[in-house]
Structure 1
Amino acid sequence: MFEKDTHEILAYYDGCAEIGRLERGIGKIELERSKEIISRYLSKSTHVIYDIGGGIGVYSSWLAELGYEVHLFDLSSQAI
Structure 2
Amino acid sequence: MPFGRTGAHWALLGPGVELRTTHFDLQAAITQLIHGSSHPGIAEWADFFLHARATDADALAAFAPRDGRDHSP
With the length of structure 1 as denominator, give the TM-score of the two structures: 0.27
TM-score by length of 2: 0.28
The structure with the larger Rg is: 2
